[in-house]
Structure 1
């Protein structure tokens, strides 16, 4: 691909090599490598432990596998790491800082379900994702280069023009959908990838190919990758750098994959030769309660061994140690060096019981402490006895605390910059106008095959011809009034039902995609909502317009004005019905409930529309005010009977006005059906229906159906 070398496209080390981008454009894309540390994570739901005291660490370039039987809490842990579930206790840190909104922008979460718009091709899906999630500082051509590179890296070139597909329309295979799911997230160049069961539903070859790509991505791009897997093959199992084995929501093992066999051997559970270790350990954690407790106890005992990660040691989070340094810090808080740091003379040895002398450059942040119960400061910087690398440790602080606690040897200027990052306010990757344009185009492209399908075209043309033939060339006489009204009422009710249930049935599948994209922070809900109304508007009015063009001239066109006014009220009624369907679909999560509610409302709308029943009991007249068909139907009568040739009276006539006149005025025709509202008021009420249901739909999505 010209302009961007494939092997230097993404983040490598401390820089990004994308020659075609300016410095201003680059700063939006590269992410600093993230070290993920989660300690003592506990989650309870309805007083039942889902996760209990789960800890782990993953460094850049490593691939962590979370394994365990079904129901052990793998997905819940991933949701916690993504910041989608509130913890009952525990800490999640990225580069020693609390998980916050700023870091959520650097995390991608690939769901287990492959949720896409089925009628878009793979390339179209990636193009829209790039246009929405890559910053506006990049040109369209540069964003498309990103798409080309992702397709090439994940070996999707041969299927890029294939539709995503669903259970009705065949599209991508399972493995291709999995890679497409990952490709959408890789576009933003995330520093941390969380993948829930990426190999589920794949054959062994596809699963191996996928995991091999993830392994290379983690190593070559210096990314942190966490995956949940249920029962991997031995080939896939040995790809993992680290393993977190869960049992009943607790840690059964955490450490290097190549040491898990020794761990089980030490407690008397020996793996047979040529036996898949993944199968073996899953069999053990699914054994008896005594066996489970034995494994869990061995895991707890392993936490005090010298090779256990010091970042996860429980003594770092004991209040006694914390309070020692709080007291020391409070005593010397007025003797700061340059107002920023305080030298520590002694620090506890993190790997033993001896006290070691800290280096002269060891420092601790002096962010003011409100009280010993509010905050624990960082302990110290020391050196591992078996390594020359520096070790940076931090202590827990209250969830609402927002200050950074960095311990490093860099200048204080850089530390202050790091702290200032917490003043970060959420910024969307693209502006509102960009989101609106892209989403409008995508909604149009996605909905067109569904709304303007071949079957819908055939149905519309056939119905228009049948309606025109049934009411062909009706005379302008009193006996024909009922037939003319029949065409009006049939047209309004049919297209009301068509648009209403079309919106209702299309919303559940679309809602899943929108929820996934909203969780990833791809765009504003307001931009999506306005784009949906604008993008689908041409599709919504196309078929009713074709029906009207075919059927009404066959009845007899009296004037161009009448033709277009009738068409306008027919389309307005159709759009209002679609708004009601969208609102009900947003409110009801259960499809059967939404269909039932819609059936009751639409049938009531027809009954009180003014054609099927004219002698409505006084105590039910309020129902007529809620019928959208009533207002459109009355408007069509006003327009039709006010223009063109007047309606001739019959002999005998049921209209009293015919005793003194040969023609029936429109007011008498409307009075026969009990309607007295003028044209402008009927139109205004229809627009009120449209606005109210559109606004209610937005309120429901914004406040009541927010993605969890």
Structure 2
């Protein structure tokens, strides 16, 4: 396995340049050769993507030695900083206040009961067990996404710190990606935002191209990712895109939550092969898995089998079956090893032998009613037996192994902390805004110019022609559209913010700015139809002012939609509240009710329909003059309305545009991510 590989060059390196073998990373950290560990060279070699080459097993900046035939600006993949993960007596509980069935328990409920294990660089550790066994909880604890209650978790014998965040990759079970971006665009934008700022844009794009090649996504790189309602790449390819987002930074440890869920056996096997290849490059890989195929199970180096939050096996995956045979549990028929282990974790001993002492030891005073009925031990008794057998045979041996210290060369973790804390590792705010703006424009153009949306606008323009309903449509249509913005992007926002990909302010400003040019196109087509159909004032000034009024109403309504969506982050609750607001604003807008009771008169001043309607009336009917009747509309139907020069309405709409967005930003700041951003 080559640890140094050009991004765009052919693999024609001499054998002397590739002299670090995979085996170096699969042994204990204390057995690693100091010359092969990053840290003996320039500190910049730690930062992913800096030009580095092999020089007798050492890492040196490429500007000191570059005999390669590629362009000097090309980057090479540096070796991963080896990281040894150990955890001992890990426990996790939820308080009784959080337990739904509070009547059944007066004490805190433990999800994990003292889990112990370790994993080396170059190994794949599988956390396996039935649903609800504690796999994902343990994975979140090991990755630092959830605070540890009890026990110890160390990385190269060091506790978790924020400096480790950029050395840890986490792939969630649900595929979180923008559906309308292509595979190449998805990884390129992630590279531009996540890679260190001292790399050029070209180098970041080349890194994205390298990851596409590494994951075998060349064939579909120009295909949109897709999602639940948009057809795109296959499920396996989408999962590889999500993994690619995490390995862009060449993390030392990669965590994956059910990476094969929803995939067929062939696609799942390819994911397993890819994880094995990633581990061979010196990374530590930990993944949860539910019930893999026998071929996929054979790719795991280590296994922790969980049942009801307790370890019933921890060790080499290849030794799991012999271990259970040694305690008297064996399949009586041909069976997938993973299926056999999951059955044991569930307490199911059908088609399996179990030791006679299980009946002898557990029958007196036990909960085993199955024995009395001649049907074998109960799941509770099987679980207790397996936990006891593990504690007596293997747990003490594993804990003794964990006591061996890890030799950390040149204080790698501390040095890594200094490097990852540098401000240069994150793109400047201006660059973040620019990248996010381009990404939003590409993603949202499909939404704005979909056939359904264009048809809706044109058909509405043909059906209605009254000024009030123009203001109503362009107030409530963008409001309900904006409600979905943050709830739909919540998972993506939480994921990207949890790894400090960008500042929230850059995302928020870019998200709002991307709406502005798109918001002008459909209103222009709408207004042209209205003008030709109704015969409004045929002057360029009147048309421009009408369009400006509609635009202000759209932006103000969007602000209200954003604040409702950000406040609830739940589409059902947000639309319910928005419906009430819509009806209130419509009734107080000035068309249905002319005289609003005094105790409710304040509502109309909060209604963007009220202000936009008054502006449209002034523009189209010239409802102001200089005589005694100054300020009254000339049309008999509009005499009740007193209008000034429109400054108050414009000011009110501008205040709404700014105020609503500030409140929406405050609500977003309060949104919790999986880790402290």
| Structure of higher CA gyration radius | 1
The answer for the alignment partner of 1:54 in structure 2 is 115
Counterpart of 2:414 (choices 413, 418, 422) is 418
C-alpha deviation, 1:586, in angstroms: 1.4
Answering whether residue 426 of structure 2 is matched by residue 429 of structure 1, we say yes
Provide the residue aligned with 1:383 in structure 2: none
In 2, distance between residues paired with 1:707 and 1:630? 42
Contiguous gaps of at least 5 residues in structure 1: 314-390, 394-406, 471-486, 648-656
Distance in 2 (alpha carbons) for counterparts of 1:284 and 1:134: 44
Whether the 8 Å CA contact 1:4–1:19 is kept in 2: the answer is no
Instruction: For residue 54 of structure 1, report the CA deviation from its aligned partner.
Output: 0.9
TM-score for both structures, normalised by structure 1:
0.76
Contact 2:614 2:643 in 1 (8 A): no
Q: Counterpart of 1:700?
A: 667
- Structure 1 pair 420–114 and aligned structure 2 pair: CA distance change class (3 A): closer
In 2, distance between residues paired with 1:534 and 1:19? 33
Task: Please report how far the alpha carbon of residue 673 of structure 1 lies from its aligned counterpart in structure 2 after TM superposition.
Answer: 4.2
Q: 2:505 aligns with which of 504, 516, 526?
A: 526
CA shift for structure 1 position 505: 3.1
Q: Distance in 1 between matches of 2:78 and 2:661?
A: 36
Q: 1:556 to 1:492 in 2, by over 3 A?
A: closer
Describe the SS at the equivalent of 1:232.
coil
Question: 1:63-462 to 2 correspondence within 5 Å?
Answer: 63-219=124-280, 221-272=281-332, 274-287=334-347, 288-303=379-394, 306=397, 308=398, 310-312=400-402, 391-392=404-405, 414-415=410-411, 418=414, 421=417, 425=421, 427=423, 429-462=426-459
Q: Which moved more, 1:16-25 or 1:120-129?
A: 16-25
Match of residue 548, structure 2, among 543, 546, 568: 568
Instruction: State the SS of the aligned residue for 1:143.
Output: helix
Distance 1:669 1:299 in 2: 91
What's the CA shift for 1:295?
A: 0.9
The 1:201/1:704 distance shift into structure 2, 3 A limit, reads closer
Return the offset for 1:109. 0.6
Alpha-carbon shift at residue 577 of structure 1 (Å): 0.5
1:596 to 564, 576, 585: 576
| Count of aligned positions | 581
Taking the aligned partners of 2:496 and 2:413, their CA distance within structure 1 comes to 31
Which structure would you say has the larger RCO, counting Cα contacts within 8 Å and 6 or more residues apart?
2
CA distance in 2 between partners of 1:137 and 1:62 (Å): 31
Matches within 5 A, 1:540-555: 540-552=519-531, 554=533, 555=535
| Partner residue in 2 for 1:516 | 495
| CA 1:149–1:159: 2 relative to 1, 3 Å | same
Distance change >3 Å, CA 639–CA 248, structure 1 → 2: same
Larger displacement relative to structure 2 (167-176 or 209-218): 167-176
Change over 3 Å in CA distance of 1:290–1:553 after alignment to 2 = same
Q: Provide the C-alpha distance between the structure 2 equivalents of 1:160 and 1:246, rounded to a whole number of angstroms.
A: 38
1:500 maps to 479
Change beyond 3 A, Cα 1:449–1:419:
closer
Give the direction of change, closer, same or farther, for the CA distance of 1:673–1:106 in structure 2 (3 Å limit).
farther
CA displacement, residues 339-375 of structure 1 (integer Å, 9 cap, x when unaligned): xxxxxxxxxxxxxxxxxxxxxxxxxxxxxxxxxxxxx
1:54, 1:639 → 2: CA distance? 72
Q: 1:629 aligns with which of 609, 616, 629?
A: 609
5+ residue gaps, structure 2? 1-5, 22-35, 39-44, 53-60, 64-72, 96-107, 348-378
What is the Cα deviation at residue 642 of structure 1?
Answer: 3.0
